[in-house]
Structure 1
Amino acid sequence: MAQLEQFTTSVGSVDAVVSRMRALDAALPARDGVAVFNRVYLAVTQEVERRLAAGQFTDPRAAAALDVRFAERYLAAVDAATEDRRPPACWRPLLQLRRHPGVRPLQFALAGINAHIGHDLALAVVDACHTLGCEPADLEDEFDRVGELLVALEERIREDLMPGPDLLQLADPLTHLLGSWSLERARDATWSTARALWALRRFEDVAEEFTERLDAAVGLAGRMLLTPLPD
C-alpha cells in the first residue's frame, strides 16, 4: 500500500479532511473496499463543509470540531494499514477484505459506515468535548444534524449500490444480510455510548475496557456485513 504513504499527515480542519479524502479517492482503485467507503464519506464531509459555510449549524465551531475528530479516526485507521500497524478491530474486516471479489460495493460501504458510526463517532464526541472543554449534551444538536445527513446518505447508497431490482427479493442473500443492520439504530446507540464514555473518563481502566469491547463488537458486525456472497 505504498501509494498511500503520502497521505499520512495529521488533519486539523474540515478542509484538510476533505483534501485527504480526495487524495485517497484519486490514489485507490475504484473497486477497492476502502475507496468505496471513502467516496461515501467524502460526500458526507463535503456536505458538512457546505453547511458550515452556509451557517446552517447552531454552533459552527463545535460542528467543525466534531467533524474533524470523527474523520481523524477513520484516517488513522487507513494510516495504520498503510504503515503495517494494527488498526482498530472495527476497521480490520474492511481493510482485510477490501479486494475480495465476493464482496459487493454496497457491503463495503455499509461495513465502513458500521465501523465509523458504531465505534469512531462515540469516541469522536469525547475527543471533541476535550477539545472544546464542554459536555456531550453541548454537542447534541451537531451530533443530530450530522446523523441526519448520514441517514439520508445511507438511503441513497442503498439505491445507488444495490445490484438491481432482480436481486431485491427477500430470499436474496444480500437483501437478507443488509436488512439486519440499521444506521439509525447504530446512531442512537452511539449517543448513549458517548455519554457513558464521558461519564467513565475518570476511571481510565474501566473506560479502556469498555472501548476495547465496543471495538470488538463493532468489528464482529462488520465481519458479518462483509460475508462473501455468490454471484
Structure 2
Amino acid sequence: MPHLEPSAPPRDPPGVPLDGVLRRLRTLDAALPPRDGVAVFNRVYLTVTEEVGRRIGAGRFPDARAAITLDVRFAERYLAAVDAAASDRRPPACWRPLFQFRRHPGVRPLQFALAGINAHIGHDLALAVVDACRTLGCEPADLEDEFDRVGDLLVTLEERIREDLMPGPDLLQIADPLTHLLGSWSLERARDATWSAARALWALRGLPDLAEEFTTRLDAAVGLAGRMLLTPLPG
C-alpha cells in the first residue's frame, strides 16, 4: 500500500512553511490538462493550501508549528496517492474512483472537486492527525483548534466551489440530477466523522492489527462514497 499507515514512524517536522507542498501542487497544476479530474481537485487544494499559508503568516493560527505540521502531513497523503497512480501502483481505495474516472466525459467538474475533497477529508485527514501527533509528540486534543480552523476554511471554500462549478442558472438547478446527487454528501458531516476517526486511531495506536483493520475499512467506506459522487450524469 503506497500511503503511510498510522504506525509509520514520523519524519522531521517541516523546516520551511508549506513551500515544498505548494511547489508540488503548482507543478501538478501546470502539468495536468485543465479538464482532468485530478487537475480539478488539485486546483481546489492549491487554493486551500495557499490560504492556509496566508493565515499562518498572518498569525491566525495560535500554534503555527502545529498548523504547518498538520497541513504538510495532510498534503503528503494526497501527493503519495498521485505518485502511486503515476507509477502504476494502486493508490488508497478512497482515491481510486477519482483516478479511474478522471477523464470520463459524463462526470462534471464539481463532481471531481467534491470526490477529491471526500477522499482527502474522509480518509487522509484522520491519518494526518495521527501522523502530526506522532511528529509533535502530542495528543489529538492538542490539535483540535488547528483541525477546526482548517475545516472551517474548507467549508467556506466548498460553498464557493459549488457556486463556481455548478452548471446552469439557479432556477434550473433544482431539476439537475447533479443537485440531487451532491445533496447526499456533506463536508461538515464528513469533517465530524473524521475527527472521531482520528481519535479512534490514536486510541488504537497500541493495537496495530486493530488500527490496520480500522484504517482499511475507513479507506473502503470513503472510496465507496467517492464512487457515488462520480456517477456519470447526462449533459
Task: Report the TM-score range of the alignment, normalised by the length of the smaller protein.
Answer: over 0.9
Cα deviation 1:148-173 (Å, max 9, x = unaligned): 0000000000000001225411x421
In structure 1, the residue matched to 2:129 is 125
Q: Please state how far the C-alpha of 1:198 moved relative to its aligned partner.
A: 0.2
Where in structure 2 are the equivalents of 1:202-221 lying within 5 Å? Answer: 202-221=206-225
1-structure distance, mates of 2:55, 2:222: 29
Q: Where in structure 2 are there 5+ consecutive unaligned residues?
A: 1-12
Does residue 114 (structure 1) correspond to residue 153 (structure 2)? The answer is: no
2-structure distance, mates of 1:63, 1:154: 20
2-structure distance, mates of 1:24, 1:168: 32
Paired amino acid for 2:173: L
Cα deviation 1:2-35 (Å, max 9, x = unaligned): xxxxxxxxx9451110110000000000000000
With the length of structure 1 as denominator, give the TM-score of the two structures.
Answer: 0.94
Contact 1:51-1:57 at 8 Å conserved across structures: yes
User: Greater relative contact order: 1 or 2 (C-alpha under 8 angstroms, separation 6 or more)?
Assistant: 2
2-structure distance, mates of 1:18, 1:34: 16
In structure 1, the residue matched to 2:194 is 190
Does residue 66 (structure 1) correspond to residue 42 (structure 2)? The answer is: no
Percent identical pairs in the alignment equals 83
Where in structure 2 are the equivalents of 1:5-154 lying within 5 Å? Answer: 12=14, 13-154=17-158
With the length of structure 2 as denominator, give the TM-score of the two structures.
Answer: 0.92
1-structure distance, mates of 2:176, 2:30: 33
Paired amino acid for 1:148: D
2-structure distance, mates of 1:184, 1:121: 13
- Counterpart selection for 1:224 from 217, 220, 228: 228
In structure 2, the residue matched to 1:8 is none
Q: Where in structure 1 are there 5+ consecutive unaligned residues?
A: 1-10
Paired amino acid for 1:125: V
Contact 1:32-1:98 at 8 Å conserved across structures: yes
In structure 1, the residue matched to 2:173 is 168
Cα deviation 1:170-208 (Å, max 9, x = unaligned): x42100000000001100110010000000000000000
Structure 1 runs of 4+ aligned residues shifted over 4 Å read none
Contact 1:129-1:135 at 8 Å conserved across structures: yes
Paired amino acid for 1:222: G
RMSD across aligned positions (CA): 1.1
1-structure distance, mates of 2:172, 2:66: 42
Paired amino acid for 2:218: L
2-structure distance, mates of 1:70, 1:164: 34
Contact 1:77-1:91 at 8 Å conserved across structures: yes
